[in-house]
Structure 1
Amino acid sequence: MAVLAVSSGAAPGAASAPGAGAVGLAASLGAGASYAVYTLAGKTLIDRGWRPESSMGALFGGAAAASLPLLLMTDASWLATPEGLAMALWLGLVTTTIAYLLFGYGLTGLLPATVSTLTLAEPLTAGLLAVAVLSESLSPGAWLGLAVLATGIGVLAASGRSRPEPAAAEPNAPESSAPESSDAHPAAAVSEGAPIVDAWTSSSSPASGSAPTRGGG
């Protein structure tokens, strides 16, 4: 917000209409909010079982239908020229179709906030290429904005590398299912209420005329 407010000021010596800075700032905030809604909508469709290409196709199809009246009100004669047709194909196939298919696949495994932050590398790269290739000059506010973008991407990348991986759960020790031997608990072998049988020994047999010994003693 602060960077947008600072950079929305007019350049020294340049004339601007009253309220133009406020309108530009409001438009920037609206574009950012729309992009957030678009990202969350795509993630919601994917979480509901949509394929990434189907999710992106539905969102861009709806956007194209909403933008059709604006296209009819503008001069589209440049599309009839070879250069214009090549530019339209480049913008439609490369910078939109391929780019947002990759965007959709990114949403399948990343949080919407992470994906949105990583896509901020696009204006950062465009600004640096404008300076390096096209010899354009940027205002101090624009350089400040690029620095903020680079810092945000760097912080996001660093936090992703330093995040500890969840520890694997240790397998539980298998419980012994072997039945306990009756020898370990002699008393368990004797049923409650069972009659005590007189045990005869060699010295207490009926032939010897002796009395039996109780309990096998």
Structure 2
Amino acid sequence: MKNIQLLSGLAIIALSFTSCKDEKQEKAQKTVDSYVAYVDSVKNVASADLKADWKAVDAEYDKKAQEAELALADIKDNSAATEKVNTSKVKYEEFKKEMTAVFAPPAPSPKQQLRNALFGEGKIGDDMNFDWVNAKNIHSVYQQFVHTVEDNKDKYSREDWDEVKMMYEALDSRKNTVEKEGLTSEDNRKIAGLKLKFAPMYTLNRMGAKSEETKEAKK
């Protein structure tokens, strides 16, 4: 009788163990399926809707991808599940690259690229606002401007030189205001030296650019 009870007990334990093992596998499979479904669902959302919540979408993907990877260890024969996970991973990475390109800001116009080089990224836009230039930084602003022009003088077109001239005159206009706000005599002297360097460089190279364009037009 005792033997029968012992065998029955062992059978119940074994059955319970098998049941737990089956539940674990079932849960793992659901985790994998949830990951696959998430990738497919994200790919069906309009890019305009994704853009606003992209960080949250990507973070949720990372979480589900990690859970799916861990779940594979709990599936006895996981070759099919592994293939599903890998396929979805490739799908998402390709989709992410596509969305990154879609969400990227448009490239600045040639005019804006020139302004960025002369003053720094985004410092001067269409509003031509020079309020950020003050007595403390105006010398360094002139330095960057003149040195940038010097480094690129052989590459500028006539239109580029016209833009450079307009920006230079706007900076000079701002200097007139800054001089009344505590510009040191030392910085003023250094700026005067930079202006002496710029003037002939502009005149000669703008004329050269115009001549080159005239030659090209005749060809």
Q: Give the shorter-chain TM-score range.
A: under 0.3
Of structures 1 and 2, the larger Rg is shown by 1
- Given the two structures, how large is their TM-score scaled by the length of structure 2? 0.23
- Higher helix proportion: 2
